[in-house]
Amino acid sequence: VSYKDLRGMKDDEFVDILEERRCSSDLGHAFRTFNPQPYKGGPPCSAADLNKALLDSHFLHRVVKEVAMETGSSQEKVMEEAGEILVEMSHNLHLPFIRLMGYTFSKVIKRLFTSIFVNMDGLNTLQQAVQENPVILMPNHRSYVDFLIISYILFTYDIPVPVIAAGVPLAEMKIVGEILRRSGAFFIRRSIGSDKLYWAVLSEYVRGIVRHGFAPVEFYVEGLRSRTLKSLTPKLGMMQMVLEPYFKGEVFDITLVPISISYDRVLEESLLARELLGVPKPKESTAGLLKASRVLQEDYGSMQVNFGQPLSVRKLCEGKINRSYYNLVPRDLPMKPSAEALACVSWLAHVVVGLQERGSLISPWSLMACLLIQEPTTVLAEQGLLWDDLTEKTLWLRKMVLDFGARLNWPGEAPNSAVMSSAISLHRSIVYLKAGRVYLTQEEVPLRRHRISPEEGVFRTAVPVLMLAAYRNQSLHALVRPAMLAMSICITRSTQRDELFRFFCFLQEVFANEFIFIPGNLSQDFEEACLCLNSCGAVYISEQEVRVSEQSSEVITFLQKLLQPFIDSYQLIFRCVCEEEQVQVFTEKQFLAAVRALALKLILSGELHTYETLSSDTQKNVLSALCRLEAVAKSEINEFKVNKAAVRRITDALCKSRQGSITIFNYNYSVSSIIQVQLQLH
Amino acid sequence: CVICGNAWRHEVMKWNGWGYSDSRFLFNKKGQAEFTGKRYKLSGMILPALKDWFEGTFGASLQHKSPATPLLNTSAVQAPTLNQDFVEELKSIGVPFSHEAEDRAFRGHGHCLHEIFALREGKIGRVPDMVVWPNCHNDVEKIVALACKHNVCLIPYGGGTSVSSALECPPEETRSIVSLDTSQMNRILWIDEKNLTAHVEAGIIGQDLERLLNESGYCTGHEPDSMEFSSLGGWVSTRASGMKKNIYGNIEDLVVHIKMVTPQGVIEKSCQGPRMSTGPDIHHFILGSEGTLGVVTEVTMKIRPVPEYQKYGSVVFPNFEQGVACLREVAKQRCAPASIRLMDNEQFMFGHALKPQVSSIFTSFLDGLKKFYITKFKGFDPSRLCVATLLFEGNREKVLQHEKQVYDIAAKFGGLAAGEDNGQRGYMLTFVIAYLRDLGMDYYVIAESFETSVPWDRVLDVCRNVKARVVRECKDKGVQFSPLSSCRVTQTYDAGACVYFYFAFNYRGLSDPVHVYEQVEHAAREEILANGGSLSHHHGVGKLRKEWMRETVSEVGVGMLQSVKDYVDPKNIFGNRNLL
C-alpha cells in the first residue's frame, strides 16, 4: 500500500506550508510582493467605496423610510443609525495589516503546530476561480485558529484575501478587534432578532461585497464553532444574503468553495468539554486572549486545510430556482425570498457542510477515539485497555474507513505503532499509556481537598470522556450512514430493503440535528450505506435484501455501538420529558437542569453508561428534534410544551434498540408502529 | 404569366444567403477581405484588418473552407401538393401563380441561421406548394375566399426577412400550402399632405417606400435594419421597430389605418381619427399577428417632411457600465437623438476590423481615437471601452443644440466625443453586417443575433449574464473555440431599453453545429427571461420562440389570442402556426 493510498488522498498534493516558514524569514514573508490576479468582473472597490454605495443605495433608503414611519422618528435619524450600524459592521481591509497579521501569525502557528498541510491543487483552482466569479469561502469552524488561517494561506499564495464574517464580540476586543477589522473582518451581532434596520444594512452590505466580487467572502455556514467537533446544522441567514445576488441576476454566477479544516488536536478542547458540561464560555477579550497564551506552550500536532472543488451556484441551482421571481418588482425593493429560494438556500448550505465533511481528514487519533469511547468508562478509568488490542482494532478500523472512501491523515513514513503512540502522547490530556494499557486521564484532585463528592467525580470523568467523544466525532461523517444502516438492521432484525430503508429514514429524521444530511438525499444516503457495508464484507446486497454476512458481525456491532450513546441519550431525555409529571410547560433552562440531574443520578446508579447525555449539545439537539418532530411545541415566549403521547411513540420506535439499554416502556415494538410514526412525522 | 418588378427576386438576390447576389464579402487571393458589388459605400473596398480579427477571434483559418452548395438543386425540392380545384379557380380569376421549384424554395424560409445553413448544404425541407402574386386588395380577397372554399393553407410572404422561423412551412400541414407573395402590391395609393399621411399597399419594400416618398419631399422615418428588403405588411404583422423610433415612433405609432383580409372578411376602421376610445384597439389584434389571422393589404401611415439636416456622431466611454448610465440619463431627460446605440467592447473591436483601406471617405474612427488616447486620455482601457453612435435629425440649429445637450450628458459619464464619421460608419455597418454572416459560414463560423427589451435597472445584468451564458453554454456543448459574444443597447425608452446580442463561433469539430447553436440560443433566451428581459422587442415570436408564449403573456393571454384566432380563422386557413 502506497503512502498516498494510506492517506486516502490519491489525487491531492498536500504541502506543509510551515516548512518554508521554518527555513526563511517571517519578515520576508510578511513583506513579500502580494500580486494577485485581478478579478475580471470589475475594478477593485475600496472599503470606503463599498460603504458609500451602501448608504446611497435605494434599497437602504426604502428601508429607512419604512423604519422611520414605523418608529415615528425622522428619516435623517434612522439614516444616522444605519450609518452607526455600518461603522460597527464594516471591514477596513488594508494590505499593511494583512502583512502585520501575517507576521504575527507566522510566529504563533509555528509554535502551536508542527505542520499545516494545504492541498495545492485546491489553491490552484481557487486562484482561477477568484478571477471569474464572486467567490464564497466556506470553512468549517472548529477553533478560533480557523479565523485567520485562510487569509494567511491566501496571502501566501497570491490570492485576494477575503473579507470575513465575524461575531461582534470579537470587534469589542481592544486592539485585536481593530486588527481583525483591518485584516478584513466585518462584524455581525449575535442576536439580531427582528431589527429591520440592522438586517437591511447587513444584507445590503453582504450583497454589495458579493456583487463587486473582487474580494472573496468568507463565512462559517455553521454559524459558530462546533463544541463537539461535529458539523452543525447550517445557518441560512448569511447564506441567503450571499446567494441573493445570483437569484436576482446581479451576478452571472457565484462560486462556493467548501474548506475543510481538521486538527490533530484542538486548542480549545478542554474548554469546549467544560462548556458542554455547563461551565460558561469565557467572554472574548484581549486580556483573556493574553491569559490564554499558556496554551501556546503546548503541542497541537498538525493542522490540515483542504480547499474543496469550487462549486458553481448556477449549476447547482439549475432547475431548482426560478429567477424570474424578481421580474415584476423593482430591483431594490426589500422582498422576502420565495419558498423555493429558501429551500434552495438550505439545500445548498447542507451540500456545502456535506462537502466540508467529506473533505476533512480523519486522524489516527480520531479512529482510536472511536474505539476507546466504546469501552465502559469505569473500565477505561480503572483497569485500562490493552494497548495491543487498541492498536490492532485501530488498524482494522483504518481499513474499514478507507473501504468506506474516507480521507485519512495517516502518516506513512513512520511505523503504525509509532503513529498511534505519538497520537496518545499528543492527547495525554485525555488518555495515557502505562504498562501496556491505556487509561483515561483524570484531573488530579487538589491536595487540599480530601474527598470529592460523587457528582464532582462524574464531572471529572465527564471532561475527558466528552473530549474523547469530540475526537470520535471527527470520524463520524464517514461512518454515520453505514452505522445507521447497521442500527436499522439490529433494531428491525429485517433483511428487507424497504423496511430497512424506512427505519433508516426514521433514524435520519430523529437525528437530523445530530448528523448533517442533505435534504432530499435519503435514497442516496441509504444506497451509500449499503455499498459501504458491502465493501467491507459486512452485508450482501441484492435488489430486495440486505443480508448480514455471518463472518463480519463485528463490523455491524462496532457501528451499532458507535451510535449507541446517541440512542441512549435520546431515550433518556425522552423519558425525562415524559416523566415531568407536574410540569407541562418548561423553559430550556429548566429542561437542561432536569436532564442533567436525571443523567447524573442514573450514571451514579450505574443505569446510564454514556456520559454524553450530560452534554448540553446533546440535550439541546434532542429538544430541537422533538420540536421538529412536533412532539414538543415551542411557544412565542420560548416555553416548551410536551405532547407526551407523541414522545412515547418516537421512544417506542427506538426503544428495542439493544438488549441491556435502558428500556423505558414495555410496549411491543412492531413495524407498523414505526410506519405509523413516520406517517405522522411527515 | 407576365410578372414585373421584383417578383423574380432570386434573380437579384441570393437563394441561400443575405441580400443581393452581387454583394458579398470574400477573402481575395491575397487573403484580404473585400466587399463586392456597387450598391453600398463599402462596396469594392478592401478591409485589411478583417482577416486577422476573424482568425484571431474565432480561431478560424482561411485554409479551412466550408463553401455553400452553389446552385439550388431543384430535384431536392419535393413535388408540389396541388389542390386542383383551387388552381383551376385561381386561373379563372387571372391571378399570376407558379409552382416552379425555385419560386417555392425561395419563399419557404426566412433568415434564421438554421434555415440558411440548411440551404447552403442544399437541404430543402417542406416548402410552399405554389406561389401566388395578387396585384391589389381585391385580388387578395378573391384568393382568401378561394382558399377558404377549397381548404388551402395560406402563408403570407412579404420581404422574407423573418428571423423567427415564421416562414417555415409547418411539417405537419397536409393541405396544399400557398405562399401569398405581396410583392406586386407595392404602390403608394395616395399622399395626404394636409393630414401628413400616405396610403400604401402593404407589399411595398421599405427602401422603395422611402425613396418614393422622398421624391415628394416626405418620409415615414421608419428604418428597421432590414428596410432594404422587408415590407410594410411584414412590419405591421411583426410589430417592427425602426432605428429612428425616437422621432418617428415604432410601427404601432406610425399606422393610422390598416386593412386586412381575413377568412371572415375584411377588418378595418371606419375613419382615420388619430386616436379612438372604442374598446380595445383592433389594430392591436393585427399588429404582431404574424400572418395567423389574414393578409394586411393596405396601410395608412403617418409621413413627415424629409428632415432638413442630419448629423452623425459618436461618443467613447471608458466602459460599458458608464455608457449604459449615460443612455439611461439621456432617456430620463427625454433628449434621445433620432438614434442612439451603445456597442460593447467586442463590437467596438469588430468595428475596428471593418475599417476599409481607403479611408478618404471614412476618416478613421480609431486612428483618430488612438491619437486621442496616446496624447490625452490614456486613462481608457482599450479592452473595456465602448462606443455610442448617434444620429441627429431636424433643423440645423436645433440639431446642433441637441447635439451639445447630449454630449454634455455624455461628458458627465466620462464620454468623449469621437467624431461624425465613426457614427456614420456605425450605421452603415448595420446594413452590411448581415452579409458578414455569409462570409463566416464560408469558413466554419456560424453566427446569429437576437434581441430583447428590458427595464433600465436590469440592462447591465441582462447584458452581462446573457453574454456569459452564451460563452458557458458553448463551452459546455463542446464548442472547441471561444465564441464571440457581444451586445449593444440599440433603443432607449422611458422605462427601459432594447438590447441586441450577437454570438458567433467556429464550429469545426462539431458533428451537429446547428443543433449546438440552437441549444445555445435557447439557453440564451432562457437567461434573458430569467433576468427580466422580454421574449422579443421587434423580431417577433414566429415558431422559434412560441414555447415561451404562455409564460410571457399568461394562460389567459394565450386564451384571448386563441379565441380571436378561432373566430377569425376557424379553419386555420392562415396556417403558418406562428405565435400560438
List per-residue pLDDT tens for chain B, 580 residues long. Answer: 334 444 566 678 999 999 999 999 999 999 999 999 999 988 999 999 899 999 999 999 999 999 999 888 889 999 999 999 999 999 999 999 999 999 999 999 999 999 999 999 999 999 999 999 999 999 999 999 999 999 999 999 999 999 999 999 999 999 999 999 999 999 999 999 999 999 999 999 999 999 999 999 999 999 999 999 999 999 999 999 999 999 999 999 999 999 999 999 999 999 999 999 999 999 999 999 999 999 999 999 999 999 999 999 999 999 999 999 999 999 999 999 999 999 999 998 888 788 887 554 445 565 665 656 644 655 788 888 899 999 999 999 999 999 999 999 999 999 988 888 888 888 887 888 889 999 999 999 999 999 999 999 999 999 999 999 999 999 999 999 999 999 999 999 999 999 999 999 999 999 999 999 999 999 999 999 999 999 999 999 999 999 999 999 999 999 999 999 999 999 999 999 999 9
Strands A302-307 and A115-119, by their bridges, are parallel
List the Cα angle A292/A260/A202 in 5-degree steps: 75
Asked if B464's CB is within 8 angstroms of A323's CB, the reply is no
Backbone φ and ψ of B125, nearest 5°: -90, -145
Strands A546-548 and A539-541, by their bridges, are antiparallel
Domains in chain A: boundaries: 13-359, 362-441, 457-682
> Quick one: CA torsion of A673, A676, A677, A681, rounded to 10 degrees?
170
List the Cα angle A188/A57/B500 in 5-degree steps: 120
CB atoms within 10 A of CB A420: 23
> Quick one: CA torsion of B128, B520, B341, A332, rounded to 10 degrees?
130
Structural contact between residues B98 and B63, judged by C-beta atoms closer than 8 angstroms: no
pLDDT of residue A221: 96
- Give the type of residue at A180: L
pLDDT of residue A366: 97
pLDDT of residue A298: 86
Query: What is the distance of C-alpha A6 from the center of its chain?
Result: 25
Q: Is the pLDDT of residue A270 over 90?
A: no
Asked if B531's CB is within 8 angstroms of A252's CB, the reply is no
Structural contact between residues B551 and B171, judged by C-beta atoms closer than 8 angstroms: no
Cβ contacts (< 8 Å) between A323 and chain B: which residues? 530-531
A323 and chain B: CB distance < 8 Å anywhere? yes
Report CA-CA distances (Å) from B541 to A515, B547, B551, B579, B580. 51, 9, 13, 6, 9
Q: Which of B457, B458, B465 is nearest residue A252 as measured by Cβ atoms?
A: B465
Res. A638 pLDDT band, cuts 50 70 90:
confident
Res. A447 pLDDT band, cuts 50 70 90:
low
pLDDT of residue B373: 60
Q: What are the DSSP E strand ranges found in B224-361?
A: 255-262, 265-267, 295-302, 304-305, 309-317, 339-343
Q: Which of A250, A330, A332 is nearest residue B461 as measured by Cβ atoms?
A: A250
Cβ contacts (< 8 Å) between A332 and chain B: which residues? 457
CA distance A51 to A231: 34
CA distance A118 to A107: 18
3-class secondary-structure state, position A541? strand
List the grid coordinates of A401.
474507513
Could you tell me which of B363, B327, B337 has the C-alpha nearest to residue B487? Answer: B327
Please tell me whether B291 is known to bind a ligand: yes
Which stretch of DSSP H or E encloses residue A420? helix A416-426
CA distance B200 to B208: 11
CA distance A415 to A429: 24
CA distance A158 to A128: 11
Could you tell me which of A348, A338, A355, A339 has the C-alpha nearest to residue A317? Answer: A348
Structural contact between residues B62 and B31, judged by C-beta atoms closer than 8 angstroms: yes
Res. A678 pLDDT band, cuts 50 70 90:
very low
Asked if B532's CB is within 8 angstroms of A327's CB, the reply is yes
Nearest residue in B to A322, CA atom: B530
CA distance A166 to A186: 6
Strands B33-35 and B97-98, by their bridges, are unpaired
3-class secondary-structure state, position A216? coil
pLDDT of residue A656: 58
Residues of B with CB under 8 A from a CB of A: 457-458, 461-462, 464-465, 468-469, 529-532, 551
pLDDT of residue A352: 97
Strands B46-47 and A585-587, by their bridges, are unpaired
CA distance A295 to A281: 16
- φ/ψ region of A537 (left if φ > 0, alpha if ψ in -120 to 50, else beta) reads left
pLDDT of residue A507: 94
CA distance A138 to A148: 13
List the grid coordinates of B534.
422580454
Average pLDDT over residues A72-77: 94
CB atoms within 10 A of CB B124: 20
A253 and chain B: CB distance < 8 Å anywhere? yes
Sheet arrangement for strand B130-132 = B97-98, B130-132, B177-181, B153-157
CA distance A381 to B568: 93
CB atoms within 10 A of CB A137: 25
pLDDT of residue A453: 83
Nearest residue in A to B321, CA atom: A42
Asked if B461's CB is within 8 angstroms of A249's CB, the reply is yes
The contacts of residue A597 (CB under 8 Å, 6+ apart) are none
Looking at the complex, report in whole angstroms how far the Cα of residue A330 sits from the nearest Cα belonging to chain B: 8
Strands B295-302 and B188-192, by their bridges, are unpaired
DSSP for A297-345? GS---EEEEEEPPPEEHHHHHTTT--GGGGTTS-TT---PPPHHHHHHH
A333 and chain B: CB distance < 8 Å anywhere? no
Q: Which residues of B are catalytic?
A: 500
Tell me the β-bridge partners of B340: B390
Cβ contacts (< 8 Å) between B531 and chain A: which residues? 249, 323
CB atoms within 10 A of CB B295: 28
CA distance A588 to B373: 70
Average pLDDT over residues A633-660: 80
List the grid coordinates of B538.
421587434
Report CA-CA distances (Å) from B412 to B122, B179, B405. 54, 53, 11
Q: Is the pLDDT of residue A86 over 60?
A: yes
3-class secondary-structure state, position A445? coil
Res. A493 pLDDT band, cuts 50 70 90:
confident
Question: Which runs of consecutive H residues, i.e. helices, occur in A586-670?
Answer: 588-604, 616-628, 644-655
DSSP for B82-110? --HHHHHHHHHHT--EE--HHHHHHTS--
Query: What is the distance of C-alpha A544 from the center of its chain?
Result: 35
CA distance B381 to B377: 10
List the grid coordinates of B317.
466611454
Structural contact between residues B77 and B127, judged by C-beta atoms closer than 8 angstroms: yes
Please state the pTM of the whole predicted model: 0.91
The contacts of residue B100 (CB under 8 Å, 6+ apart) are none
Q: Which of A249, A250, A253 is nearest residue B530 as measured by Cβ atoms?
A: A249
Please tell me whether B425 is known to bind a ligand: no
Cβ contacts (< 8 Å) between A330 and chain B: which residues? 457
Asked if B468's CB is within 8 angstroms of A249's CB, the reply is no
- Using one digit for the tens of pLDDT, what is the confidence trace for A463-485? 999 999 999 999 999 999 999 99
A324 and chain B: CB distance < 8 Å anywhere? yes
pLDDT of residue B381: 81
Asked if A324's CB is within 8 angstroms of B462's CB, the reply is no
User: What burial letters (b/e) apply to B553-564, b meaning 16+ CB within 10 Å?
Assistant: eeeeebeebeeb
ipTM summary value = 0.90
- Using one digit for the tens of pLDDT, what is the confidence trace for A310-364? 999 999 999 999 998 889 999 889 888 899 999 999 999 999 999 999 999 999 9
Dihedral sign, Cα of residue B161, residue B166, residue B167, residue B168: positive
Which stretch of DSSP H or E encloses residue A572? helix A553-579
pLDDT of residue B377: 58
Structural contact between residues A361 and A408, judged by C-beta atoms closer than 8 angstroms: yes
Q: Is the pLDDT of residue A222 over 80?
A: yes
CA distance B384 to B348: 10
- Give the type of residue at B346: E
